[in-house]
Each structure stands twice: as structure tokens, then as C-alpha cells.
């Protein structure tokens, strides 16, 4: 994306996030155990102050209209806890649609106002779980949602939020239990899509696709939620190496939601794998123009790198660190994605390892385990890397990158047969799993004496 288009948006986001950081930190609690604590923090601001601090909305989308409706309701009836919790939900929907974490602070304040009025408000307790989950404070999210479920065992949202926290913390068996409770209470797009994601994460692509399609058919009030499900279907197919079906699904979905950044980014990934680099760059630029997310920015930088545009690649890579700092400023924990980026691009390797080791202590899921393994590998600690990569492979997640990392680690340890097997499995699952590393996998297989077919080379165009 040209500097004149992208960087003004980043400046605006910086200003918004900077202001939101002050609001978010001013109203955060030490922990979710004491309802009275939440009430006392919320009481520090009047209901009018909470409403007056909200950003203006365009009124063009359903979520904008929902925010406006519940703002007016809360202004007219500040003692209506449902108005406040519904306002929080609308603000969190805005966060979903825009990926602007500044909305977390605004939503948190709305939920806290609901808890001032009614400390037993289940929607507000779930809302606090949602906010903390968005900030990657998963232990707190689990606690808030657990309190909501204790008050209302028939509230399916609470089970979903607990399952989300379980997934991020690597407690997959417990996540299955919570998502099943969610489905038992009410099968809907939220429960179907969560179950589908967990099935895919634990190696059952066929059932995951079936359930995610069921989620799409069920539908949702907000178009963004259904678009997310469609994007996930496209990505599941991509990860399975089924590029043509992925392309077809995403193309049809973009006709319905042409400006959805998740669909645009997913199509960029597919086009890059198809080696249609100009089209891939265009899709990623469109996605970043809507929301400059980490994954899209990194992918665009990599596309510029493989197509011989190093200065533009470095501009995107610099933006990765800006985004990370903005997330931190808004209280969003989590460094594994930055650590993965650094390891992939041979940057700040000791610091990348330190960051992911720290995150792994509280978030030992398969993705963090894989990043830990890769950072250990890049720092020359191969035996430790192999122990970590076994964790990432333990749930049979269909990620070719996991297998590639396992193969490269085995090769360094002199385990020739294991290295051949893992690398072959990686390129068999998805021959174009990475712009930067699919060619490395093929070259390493050749060096190891493999007679298996090489994947298509990623050549600059």
C-alpha cells in the first residue's frame, strides 16, 4: 500500500488507541473475583461521562445503529442494567468488525456500569469475560464467565467464553466440554463455529468443515460474523492444500461482503499460494486499508520480498512493530506472533525467544508451542526445540508449518529419516504453505536424498 494511503490511517489509529489506553487502564481491575471492586471502579465515572467518551459512529452499519440505540436508552434510563450490557455488546461487535482494540475500554466501562446497577447481571459478567479474552487475559476471562455460568447454568454464552479461554490456554479437553455445554443449551452460529474451530485445531478437518458450513447456514444478525465463518472455511481448505475450492468459496463470499478484511486477507493467502502475486498483493492491500492486522501486514511484506521489492517489504515489517506497540498500549497481552515474525525473518532472535518463553508459561497452546520450537531452533537450541515441537504436533493440527519446523529440527539433530518424513508430510499437506519456507522445505528434502516430488518453486514475478 502506498504510504499516502496507509500511514495516515495508522496515525489515526495511534491517536485513537492512545486515548483508549488511558481509558482502558483507568478502569481495569486487579482481578475478577470481587464484584464490589468492579462497581467501585465504574462509580468513579458518571453514566454521562461513560456515554460522552464514546467515539462517534457513522450510523451506516447495524452495529453503529445498535450502539446509537443503546446509548440513547442508557442516557434515558441509567438504572437499566440491560441497556448498559447491550451497549457493551454493541461496542464489542464494533471491535470485531474493525479490530480496533480501543473499543475494549469503552465496552468495559459499559459493562461495569451494568454491574453497578445489578452486580448479578449475567450479560455484564459475560461481557467482562469477552473484554478480558480480547485482551488475552484468559485466566480472568475464564473467571468472569464461570461466575456467569454459576448464576445461570442455561446461559450458553458463558460456556463459549470459557471454551475460548481453554483453547488459548491449551486446555483442549476442557474446551470440548465447555463447547458441548454451549451446543446443548443452544445450537447457533456461535456454538457451531466454535466447535468447528476446535475440531479443526485437533485434526478433524472433515467434521470441522461440515460444522462451519452449518454455522454459515444458521446465520447471524451481523454480516461480519457470518463472513468470519466463510473466511475460516476458505482457510481450512487452504491449509488442506485445496486451493481451487478455497478460491471458489472466498470468491463467492466476497460477492456478499466485498469489503470484509478477513475474506480479503484469506483470498490474498490463497492467491499467493497459487503464485498469482499481483492479485495477492492487491487483496492484502485492500484488507490492510480496512484493518491493518499483523498477519496481513506480514504477508504483504513477504510478497514484496519475494517479488523483488525489498524497500516496500521493510516498510511493512516496520509497521508490524508499530501494531504490536499499539496493542500493548491498550492492555492486549501476547507476544507470540511478534516472536514468530522475528524468527521467520531472523530478527531479534534472543528477544523473540525470551518473549515466547514468557507467554508459553500461561498460554501453552499448539501455536505458542510451535513458535517456541521455532525460536529455539533459530537460537541453535535444537534438543529443546524438538521437545517443544512435539507439543505443537500433539493435537494433529493440520498446519504444514508445524511439520516443516519439526523436519528442520530433526535434520539439525541428524535424524535423517524423521526429518524426511516430517518435511514430506508438510509439502504433501500443503505444497505452498509459506512463501518464504516452502522452497526451503523442498531444498532440504533434496539435500536429505528424498525421492519424493518437489513442491512448486516460489519464484519472484
pLDDT for residue 92: 93
Residue 36 pLDDT > 80: no
Give the mean model confidence (pLDDT) for residues 349-361.
96
| Integer-rounded Cα radius of gyration of the chain | 22
The CB density around residue 274, as the number of other CB atoms within 10 Å, is 16
Q: What is the pLDDT of residue 45?
A: 62
With 50 as the cut, is the pLDDT of residue 233 above it?
Answer: yes
- Residue 31: its pLDDT value, please? 35
Cell representation of residue 170 = 491449551
How many Cβ atoms from other residues are within 10 Å of residue 310's Cβ? 11
**Mean pLDDT to the nearest integer, 140-152:** 97
Say if CB 436 and CB 313 are below 8 A apart. no
Cα dihedral sign, 187-188-194-196: positive
Please state, as a whole number, how many other Cβ atoms lie within 10 Å of the Cβ of residue 298.
Answer: 22
Determine what percent of the chain is predicted with pLDDT higher than 70: 88
Predicted confidence (pLDDT) at residue 430 exceeds the cutoff of 60: yes
- For range 413-441, the mean pLDDT: 96
- Between these two residues, 127 and 460, which has the higher pLDDT value? 127
Q: Is the pLDDT of residue 44 over 50?
A: no
Closest CA to 363 of 171, 201, 141, 202: 171
User: Average pLDDT, stretch 394-415?
Assistant: 97
CATH of domain 10-152: 1.25.40.10
Mean pLDDT of 121-139: 95
Cβ pair 114, 41 in contact under 8 A: no
- On the question of pLDDT at 457 being above 80, the answer is no
Rounded mean pLDDT of 236-258? 96
Spans of all domains in the chain: 10-152
Supply φ then ψ for residue 319, to 5 degrees. -65, -30
User: Quick one: pLDDT band at residue 421, thresholds 50, 70, 90?
Assistant: very high
The answer, yes or no, to whether residue 461 has pLDDT greater than 70, is no
317: pLDDT strictly greater than 50: yes
What per-residue confidence (pLDDT) applies to 62?
87
Distance CA 60, CA 335 (A): 35
**Mean of the per-residue pLDDT values of the chain:** 87
Q: Is 14 exposed, middle or buried (0-12, 13-18, 19+ CB in 10 A)?
A: middle
At residue 327 the predicted structure's pLDDT band, cuts being 50, 70 and 90, is confident
**Confidence at 411, pLDDT banded by 50, 70, 90:** very high
88 — pLDDT class (breaks 50, 70, 90): very high
For residue 330, pLDDT beyond 80: no
Among 372, 363, 364, which Cα is nearest to 343's? 372
* Residue 35 cell numbers, joined: 464484584
Q: Say which range, 232-236, 363-367, 450-454, has the weakest mean pLDDT.
A: 450-454
Decide if pLDDT at 6 tops 60. Answer: no
At 28, list the grid cell: 481495569
| pLDDT exceeds cutoff 90 at 69 | yes
Residue 276: which pLDDT band, with cuts at 50, 70 and 90?
very high
The model's confidence at residue 28, banded by pLDDT at 50, 70 and 90, is very low
CB 358 within 8 A of CB 335: yes
Q: What is the pLDDT of residues 189-206, one digit of tens each?
A: 999 999 999 999 999 999
pLDDT at 162 over 70: yes
The whole-number pLDDT of residue 353 equals 98
Do residues 249 and 234 make contact, with C-beta atoms less than 8 angstroms apart?
Answer: yes
- Is residue 4 predicted with pLDDT exceeding 70? no
Residue 240 CA to residue 398 CA, distance in Å, equals: 7
Is the pLDDT confidence value at 29 over 70?
A: no
Amino acid at each position: 500500500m502506498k504510504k499516502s494511503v496507509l500511514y495516515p490511517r495508522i496515525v489515526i489509529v495511534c491517536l485513537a488507541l492512545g486515548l483508549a489506553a488511558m481509558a482502558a487502564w483507568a478502569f481495569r481491575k486487579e482481578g475478577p473475583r470481587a464484584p464490589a471492586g468492579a462497581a467501585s471502579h465504574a462509580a468513579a465515572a458518571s453514566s454521562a461521562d461513560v456515554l460522552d467518551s464514546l467515539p462517534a459512529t457513522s450510523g451506516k452499519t447495524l452495529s453503529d445503529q445498535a450502539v446509537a440505540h443503546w446509548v440513547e436508552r442508557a442516557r434515558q434510563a441509567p438504572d437499566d442494567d440491560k441497556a448498559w450490557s447491550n451497549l457493551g455488546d454493541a461496542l464489542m461487535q464494533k471491535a470485531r468488525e474493525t479490530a480496533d482494540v480501543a473499543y475494549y475500554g469503552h465496552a468495559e466501562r459499559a459493562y461495569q456500569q451494568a454491574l453497578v446497577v445489578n452486580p448479578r447481571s449475567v450479560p455484564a459478567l459475560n461481557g467482562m469475560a469477552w473484554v478480558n479474552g480480547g485482551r488475552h487475559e484468559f485466566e480472568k476471562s475464564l473467571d468472569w464467565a464461570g461466575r456467569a455460568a454459576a448464576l445461570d447454568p442455561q446461559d450458553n454464552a458463558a460456556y463459549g467464553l470459557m471454551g475460548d479461554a481453554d483453547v488459548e490456554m491449551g486446555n483442549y479437553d476442557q474446551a470440548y466440554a465447555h463447547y458441548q455445554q454451549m451446543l446443548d443449551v443452544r445450537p447457533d452460529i456461535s456454538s457451531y463455529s466454535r466447535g468447528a474451530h476446535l475440531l479443526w485445531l485437533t485434526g478433524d478437518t472433515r467434521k470441522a468443515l461440515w460444522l462451519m458450513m452449518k454455522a454459515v447456514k444458521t446465520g447471524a444478525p451481523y454480516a461480519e460474523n457470518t463472513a468470519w465463518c466463510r473466511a475460516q472455511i476458505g482457510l481450512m481448505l487452504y491449509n488442506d492444500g485445496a486451493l481451487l475450492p478455497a478460491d471458489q468459496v472466498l470468491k463467492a463470499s466476497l460477492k456478499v461482503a466485498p469489503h470484509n478484511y478477513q475474506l480479503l486477507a484469506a483470498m490474498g493467502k490463497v492467491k499467493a499460494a497459487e503464485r498469482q502475486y499481483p492479485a495477492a498483493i492487491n487483496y492484502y492491500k485492500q484488507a490492510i486499508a480496512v484493518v491493518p492486522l499483523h498477519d496481513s501486514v506480514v504477508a504483504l511484506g513477504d510478497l514484496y520480498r519475494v517479488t523483488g521489492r525489498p524497500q516496500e517489504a521493510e516498510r511493512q515489517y516496520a509497521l508490524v512493530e508499530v501494531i504490536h506497540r499499539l496493542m500493548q498500549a491498550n492492555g492486549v497481552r501476547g507476544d507470540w506472533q511478534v516472536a514468530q515474525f522475528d524468527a521467520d525473518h531472523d530478527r531479534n532472535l534472543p528477544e523473540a525467544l525470551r518473549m515466547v518463553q514468557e507467554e508459553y508459561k500461561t498460554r501453552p497452546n499448539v501455536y505458542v508451542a510451535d513458535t517456541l520450537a521455532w525460536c529455539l531452533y533459530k537460537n541453535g537450541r535444537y534438543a529443546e526445540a524438538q521437545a517443544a515441537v512435539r507439543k505443537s504436533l500433539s493435537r494433529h493440527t493440520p498446519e504444514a508449518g508445524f511439520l516443516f519446523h519439526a523436519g528442520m529440527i530433526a535434520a539439525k539433530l541428524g535424524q535423517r529419516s524423521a526429518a524426511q518424513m516430517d518435511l514430506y508430510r508438510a509439502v504433501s499437506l500443503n505444497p505452498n504453505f509459506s512463501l518464504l519456507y516452502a522452497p526451503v522445505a523442498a531444498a532440504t528434502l533434496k539435500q536429505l536424498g528424498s525421492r519424493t516430488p518437489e513442491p512448486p518453486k516460489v519464484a519472484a514475478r
